[in-house]
Amino acid sequence: MEKNVTLSLFILCISISVNAQNKRPLNPSDIYKLQDVSDVQVSPDGNWVAYVVSTVDTAKDDRNDDIWMISWDGKGNVQLTNSPEDESSPKWSPDGKYLSFLSSRKSGNEDEDENDKDINQLWLLDRRGGEGKKITDVKGEIEDYEWSPDGKNVLLVMKDQDFSDTAKSKIRVPYVMDRYHFKEDYIGYLDRRAIHFYLLDIESQDIDTLTSGRYDEISPAWSPDGKQIAFASNRTAEPDKNENTDIYVMDAKPGASMKQLTTWAGHDDQPQWSPDGRNIAYLQSSSNENFTMYGEDILAVIIKDGGTPKLLSKPVDRPVSNLRWNKDGSSIAVLMEDDRQSNVVLFNANTGNMTKICTGDRMFAELQLNPANGNWAALMGEPQLPFEVFALENGNTRRLTNVQDSFLAPLQLASVEGFKSKSNDGTVVSGLLYKPANAVVGQKLPLVMYIHGGPTGQDDYEFDFIAQSVASAGYAVAQINYRGSTGRGDDFTRAIYGDWGNKEVADILGAVDYLVAQGIADPDRIGIFGWSYGGILTDYSIATDIRFKAACSGAGSALQLSMYGVDEYINQYENELGPPWKNLDKWMKVSYPFFKADKIKTPTLFMACQNDFNVPSVGAEQMYQALKSLGVPTKLIIYPNQNHGIKVPSYQKFRYEQQIEWFNTYMKK
């Protein structure tokens, strides 16, 4: 008997060893196999969960989004759409018979206008089977929609029609702008078109206009009785000059008056009615300044007729999102960031007492209530597991989907662990360390600092393809939640207000010192890279410390003075730095990487996107030209027709390959 047990254990160990040997490191081309999961929606009867899966079409060099649904017990999984066009924003009809979605695909009607090919329309799909049916033919852009509680109507959130490209010659009319805030990434140059509410009758398909005028109305929510709509709107005298929104309520009929419920000078947004219709929960920014980036969202509740709101999550001092009332209306569930984690927590709607539902070294997203049993569905990811749909039951997680199995099967991923380091002023910051799967214990590794953008937001315990790809190439990769990041409280986030490239760089260098002192990093092979504010901080870091042997600065900037009026952040500049003609010294101070370019010795790869209005390509071009003039090894890559985020799969692969190649050139012995 003992011999048989020993033999079985030996065979098991051999099997595990062979399986591990068959696995390989992740490489940039694996981006083609990674699927994205999003838009989780639970059916009214609680038996099904709809979700969207995004896959890469290599022939088109693009992603395609399709809608699936899986049973709550995880046993039945059905693909509902499979067209060449995207289907997005699935939502169940209140009776659960239909699943609606948005798509620009054709219905086969010969009368369809070819010029409308990129305009999303609302479609209905019978969950029992059959083809989807297009039920709108609107000329404006549908931004969002919500079913009425009785299922007879759909509230459309729609942008005014664009009349600028109606000429048959296909030549666009000139852009004519008179707005203070006149450009926005992904949208482009801004006109005066506004976003309004329209009421679609499902049976007749007639559409009534509920709101009109110069102001936007967004984030609608139906009252449980279907008589009223709560929403957010910025109705200040000059909406372009602030980021204020307030919560309003109106009757769900044309010409109805609007009642303002909140008066906070920051933003109030994402209203959600309590199940009994007496209260409205929403998110309020902690900052009432005109630019609210450095604030964190607080869970608030107000009586439907107005009054003083209860700020339920304020004492916790952590940002919350994705609020959802529980089944009986006694509590509100939210996702809460907390030092590299994103947890599911409940706040008592009366007392504000907080209860943690699910926590741990992982990340939750897109929380949805199961209305039948009071449990929850959510997206959840871990450092070695991209997002999947999970059921949350009695504090436990149960995986429903297995979308990522084929992607993960051949891969041997880097290990991920948390660490804390101390900066030169004594500030303790948190980070994540990726080590190659085949790293030898005790052997010093070349280290690459991977800096997140924002600056708000945080690196957390989720799957990160970029960090994994660089670690798989043989590097230790460190992510650091520098001051300015969220997850550590309001003061921690605000610490860099008007003082860029100072405390953040101290935190980055402190993490480098710590990892060197721990014997993890080879002090002679240190690199750094990042995108957006991560690219900006890369520029700041190489202008501060010459120890970096290689750098990749993506979508960054250094001569901040030249960004005024060029990017989309006019409110931030005016309120945080002041006009350049009044505060030139401050602008020069935050532009120090450009004016100290002659101090930079680090070979640096610069990257930017051609159509980026967030951090325009001029930011990378200026630094590339400076280093080129100075004789420092450098290269510039521009991604054609891309906005701030690169969406073309082959461009993503190319970016990851170029980063690794750059580090290999200047950091490998």
Cα–Cα distances (Å) from 244 to 221, 236, 291, in that order, read 19, 8, 9
For residue 166, what pLDDT is reported?
A: 65
Q: What is the mean pLDDT of residues 515-534?
A: 97
Is 363:355 a contact under the CB 8 Å cutoff? no
Is 154:202 a contact under the CB 8 Å cutoff? yes
Is the predicted pLDDT of residue 4 greater than 60, yes or no? no
pLDDT in tens, 138-191: 999 999 999 999 999 999 999 998 877 666 777 888 889 899 999 999 999 999
Is the predicted pLDDT of residue 219 greater than 90, yes or no? yes
Strands (E), 352-482: 354-358, 363-369, 376-382, 385-393, 396-399, 415-422, 428-435, 445-451, 476-480
Which tokens belong to 95? 């009776």
For residue 111, what pLDDT is reported?
A: 53
Cα–Cα nearest to 91, from 137, 136, 155, 160: 155
Predicted TM-score (pTM) of the model is 0.92
Distance from C-alpha of 485 to C-alpha of 458, rounded to nearest angstrom: 5
Q: Is 507 helix (H, G, I), strand (E, B) or coil?
A: helix
| Domain spans, the chain | 412-667
Distance from C-alpha of 413 to C-alpha of 415, rounded to nearest angstrom: 6
Which tokens belong to 559? 């001569």
Distance from C-alpha of 416 to C-alpha of 594, rounded to nearest angstrom: 35
For residue 16, what pLDDT is reported?
A: 43
Peptide bond into 455 cis (omega under 30): yes
Distance from C-alpha of 432 to C-alpha of 12, rounded to nearest angstrom: 33
Which tokens belong to 82? 């499979």
Q: What is the mean pLDDT of residues 464-471?
A: 97
For residue 416, what pLDDT is reported?
A: 97
Strands (E), 234-351: 246-251, 258-260, 268-273, 279-285, 297-303, 310-311, 320-325, 331-338, 341-348
Helices assigned H by DSSP within 276-416: 405-408
Phi, psi of 283, rounded to the nearest 5 degrees:
-105, 130
In the chain, the largest separation of any two C-alpha atoms, in whole Å, equals 87
Going by pLDDT thresholds of 50, 70 and 90, the confidence category of residue 17 is very low
> How many CA within 13 A on the CB side of residue 213?
9
Tokens 């409940």 identify what position? 346
Stated as kind and residue range, the H or E segment containing 48 is strand 48-57
Helices assigned H by DSSP within 108-250: none
pLDDT in tens, 83-125: 889 999 999 999 999 999 999 988 665 455 555 557 999 999 9
State percent of the chain over pLDDT 90: 87
Q: Is 153 helix (H, G, I), strand (E, B) or coil?
A: strand
Tokens 């509590």 identify what position? 331
Distance from C-alpha of 512 to C-alpha of 506, rounded to nearest angstrom: 10
Give the DSSP letter of residue 360.
S
For residue 288, what pLDDT is reported?
A: 80
Which tokens belong to 403? 């979308």
pLDDT in tens, 289-326: 767 788 899 999 999 999 999 999 999 999 999 999 99
Stated as kind and residue range, the H or E segment containing 630 is helix 618-630
Distance from C-alpha of 113 to C-alpha of 127, rounded to nearest angstrom: 29
Residues contacting 163, CB < 8 A, separation 6+: none
Distance from C-alpha of 49 to C-alpha of 389, rounded to nearest angstrom: 9
Q: What is the mean pLDDT of residues 2-9?
A: 49
- In DSSP terms, which residues pair with 480 in a beta bridge? 431
Is the predicted pLDDT of residue 37 greater than 80, yes or no? yes
pLDDT in tens, 41-53: 999 999 999 999 9
Residues contacting 500, CB < 8 A, separation 6+: 536, 540, 560, 590
Is 69:60 a contact under the CB 8 Å cutoff? no
Cα–Cα distances (Å) from 266 to 219, 300, 382, 540, in that order, read 16, 13, 33, 30
For the residues of 575-587, what is the DSSP string, one character each? Answer: III--TTT-HHHH
Is the predicted pLDDT of residue 14 greater than 50, yes or no? no
- CATH topology for 412-667 is Rossmann fold (3.40.50)
Least confident span in 2-16, 56-70, 390-404: 2-16
